[in-house]
Structure formats: C-alpha cells, structure tokens
Amino acid sequence: MSSLTSRGTVDRLLPSFSPVRVVAEDGVPLAAPEAYELPADALLVDAFRRMVVGRRFDAQATVLTRQGRLAVYPSSRGQEACQIASALALRGEDWLFPTYRDSVALLARGLDPVEILTLLRGEWHCGYDPAAWRTAPQCTPLATQTVHAVGLADALRRRGRGGVVLALVGDGGTSEGDFHEALNFAGVLRAPVVFLVQNNGYAISVPLARQSAAPALAFKGVGYGVASEQVDGNDLVATLAVVTAAVERARAGEGPFLVEAHTYRVEPHTNADDATRYREETEVARWRAADPLARLERYLRGRGLLADGGVAAAEEEAERVAGEVRERLGGEMEADPLEMFRHVFAEPTPQLVEQRALLAAELAADAEGGER
C-alpha cells in the first residue's frame, strides 16, 4: 500500500474555484460551462412558473405570521433558485430531506401548501406522509437530517431499487458535527446522496466569515472523499444543471456529492428576528438587485422562451395558491388535546392511559363550566 496521494484523486474531488454560473445577473447568458449539460428549455420555463408561485406563497406565509396564523416562518425569499432546483433535479423515486427553511422546495415538489406549513403553525407533526412523498419531515435540529439522508441512501442502495437522496442544509449547519459525520459516512459507504448547502450568508446573526475559515464551504467535501462543486445559487439555470448532474452521478453509482450554492437570505431569519441589529441595509439592497427570479425572467425573455402571457399565467396561478393558503389557514387552529397521547407509542403505556383519562375528566368538567 502506498501512502502517496495522487494529485488526480484530489483534483477530481475539488470544486471549481469560482461558482459555476450560466446566466449573468442582468439575465444575459454567459459561455456555457463545459462540465455541465444545461436543463431543457421547457424545464426552465416550468421552473420560472414554480418560482413565481413559490415567491408568492412565501410572502403569504410571512403575512400569516403577522396575523398569528403561523407560529413562525423562516422565509425562502432570495433562495428560490436553490429550492426550485432541488425539487426539479429529483425524480419521483428520489428522496428529499428539507430543513425548516425549505417550504418553497416542498411546494415545487408538489406537496400540499397547507401540509407544508403544518409544523410552522406549531403542530407537532409535519402534515404530510413522508413515505408517500419521499420527503422527510422538515428538520430543525441543525444538520441532524444529513446523517439520516445517508442512512436512507444506503437503504435504497441495499434494496437495489434505485433512487437518490438530496439533503438540504444551511451554511451554519455545516459547522455541526453531524454534517461532518454525514459526509464521512457518505464517502465511506459511497452512498447515493447529494448534500446541497444553501449558503445564504448568515446563520441567524452570524455571518459566514465567523462561521467558517474554509476557502469555500464546497471544499469541505475533499477531506471526506466526497466530490464537490460550488455554484451561483441565484442562477437557476446553473444551480439546476449542477444539482441535476450531482444527482445523476449518484444514481449512476459514482458516489456522494456536495454542492455549495451561494445565495442570500433577503428576509430576516424568521418573522421574529430583527436583522437590522447585525447587517446593513445596503448589503440587503445589493442582493435584492441580484434577485434570482428577475434574472431567470430576463434570461427566458431574452431567449424568446417567455413572454407577457407566460408571466401573467404564472402570476395568476400564484394568486390562486396564495388565496387558497389564506383561506385554508384563515380559521383558528383546532386541536383535540387528547391527541397528545395518541402517537407517543404504537400502544400507549399504562401510565399514558391513566394520564389521558385524567385529562379527559378535566376537559369534561371544564365543558360543564366547572372550571376553577
């Protein structure tokens, strides 16, 4: 055994030194990158439509927090290119592991908008059936989902039925131990898994510079033997091309992949956050100008793939979805307190049965007006 590391082995794992980009900020196409096949035109038009709907949905969700209909909402605004690309790069048999910030990815994946918002309303369950949608419950404990994604990818491989897993994680999440363990497991197991880091510049108030000293987060792959790439995450065309290539590579049995998408969280961390305490408005303005939706629209129009009619149709659909969300989440949330005991175990323990009876008696007494 030689302890020599060949340069070629390392080079094959390294990301590009600058993020892959296909469309300039003003929507003008750049020279197509050699390493990537560009998505089909029809898919890009579809992506635009989903992005318009996603943005409207996102704005609606933020409004719902002000009305007290949602407990909290972490906005996807500014990150739509990453999220739409995540959904569109996957096939039906593939799995997605989202975080709390990825509502728009779930919407683009076809999940019901109200089910997507279930956890954020403050429910204790995720609303949708993970197996039916091949979508894990949105995950809040940071980076913990990345290890699950590797496990599931290994399960798919063992069953031999194909399928790739895409795990989403934030820039802050890459500092957690679990993220590193996930990369290491993925490398060792050669699991069909892709990690997409949405580097939106901040973990709540902490900027990337205080989060990591890596040349770019994508360089975290090489140490674990995981191939990697970095991409302009506000360029839908580039992001979709890179994530799709990573997913197809994993599908072909060529192992795990790490993508870092450079993007920006335009809104505060959540509706409860005050971003003025830690960042300048000029910085936000600069990123607003680099809006992924406007960029894609200009690009598609420039190529003659989209006209006013297409935009209007997308906006109409977006209004319809927003209206539906408003309507379905308009009422008070109803919940039966006794459901608390229902899904703790398959069979409740004797103690839970006892506690349930106690609460039922209390509720009955309250209903009779016997409240103390």
Partner 1 sequence: MAAALNGALRDAMRDDGDVLVFGEDVGPLGGVFRITDGLTAEFGAERCFDTPLAEAGIVGLAVGLAMGGFRPVVEMQFDAFAYPAFEQIVSHVAKARNRTRGRMNLPLVIRIPFGGGIGGVEHHSDSSEAYYAHTPGLKVVTPATAEDAYWLLRDAVADPDPVVFMEPKRLYWARGELDRGARSAAPLGRAVVRRPGRDATVVAYGPAVPVALEAAREAAAEGVELEVVDLRSVVPLDDATVTASVRRTGRCVVVQEAQGFAGVGAEVAARVQERCFHSLAAPVLRVAGFDVPYPPPVVERAHLPGVGRVLDAVFRLQFDDEPDRTHEVSERAREVSRVAS
Query: So which residues are the catalytic ones?
Result: 265, 269, 278
Q: Which of 58, 154, 171, 260 binds ligand TPP (CB under 6 A)?
A: 171
**Which residue, judged by CB position, is nearest to ligand TPP in the bound state?**
170
d(CA 244, CA 185): 22
Residue 109 lies near ligand TPP (rule: CB under 6 A): no
Instruction: Using the Cα atoms of residue 369, residue 122, residue 65 and residue 283 in order, give the sign of their dihedral.
Output: positive
Give the alpha-carbon dihedral of 156, 160, 164, 168, to 10 degrees.
Answer: 10
Residues 128-167: x where in contact with Mg ion by CB under 5 A, - otherwise, as a string: ----------------------------------------
Q: Is 141 in the site for ligand TPP (CB under 6 A)?
A: yes
SS3 content of the chain, % helix, strand, coil (to 5): 50, 10, 40
Out of 152, 165, 194, 203, the only residue in the binding site for ligand TPP (CB under 6 A) is 203
What residue 119 binds from Mg ion, ligand TPP, partner 1, none (CB within 5 to 8 A, per partner kind)? Answer: partner 1
Q: Are 20 and 231 in contact (CB under 8 A)?
A: yes
Contact criterion met (CB below 8 Å) for 300 and 50: no
The piece of 104-112, 182-190, 198-206, 219-227 that touches Mg ion (CB under 5 A) is 198-206
| Residues in region 228-257 near ligand TPP by CB under 6 A | none
Contact between 67 and ligand TPP by CB under 6 A: the answer reads no
Interaction of residue 368 with partner 1, rule CB under 8 A:
no
Q: How far apart are the C-alpha atoms of 157 and 252, rounded to whole Å? A: 11
Among 204, 307, 312, 313, indicate the residue that binds partner 1 (CB under 8 A).
204
Count of CB atoms within 10 A of residue 47's CB?
25
Q: Which does residue 177 bind out of ligand TPP, partner 1, Mg ion, none, counting CB within 5 to 8 angstroms by kind?
A: partner 1
Contacts 24+ apart (CB under 8 A), 88-91: 88/39, 88/43, 88/46, 88/47, 88/50, 88/240, 88/244, 89/166, 89/240, 89/243, 89/244, 89/246, 89/247, 90/164, 90/166, 90/247
Binding mask 258-277 toward ligand TPP (x if CB under 6 A, else -) reads -------x---x--------
Decide whether 16 or 175 has the Cβ nearer to Mg ion: 175
3-state secondary structure of 366: helix
Check binding of 78 to partner 1 (CB under 8 A). no
Binding partner 1 (rule: CB under 8 A), the pick from 23, 107, 119, 318 is: 119
Number of residues that bind Mg ion (CB under 5 A): 4
User: Taking a C-beta distance cutoff of 8 angstroms, is the pair 76, 102 a contact?
Assistant: yes
Query: Does 340 sit near partner 1 (CB under 8 A)?
Result: yes
Give the E-state strand segments of the chain in sequence order: 95-97, 165-170, 193-199, 202-203, 206-207, 227-232, 257-262
Asked if 147 and 108 touch (Cβ cutoff 8 Å), the reply is no
Given the complex with Mg ion, which of 75 and 200 has the nearer CB atom? 200
Maximum separation of any 2 CA atoms in the chain, in Å: 81
Binding-site size, partner 1 (CB under 8 A): 52
Among 103, 200, 230, 271, binds ligand TPP (CB under 6 A): 200
Q: Which stretches of the chain bind Mg ion, using CB under 5 A? A: 170-171, 200, 203
Q: Which stretches of the chain bind ligand TPP, using CB under 6 A? A: 101, 140-142, 170-173, 200, 202-204, 265, 269
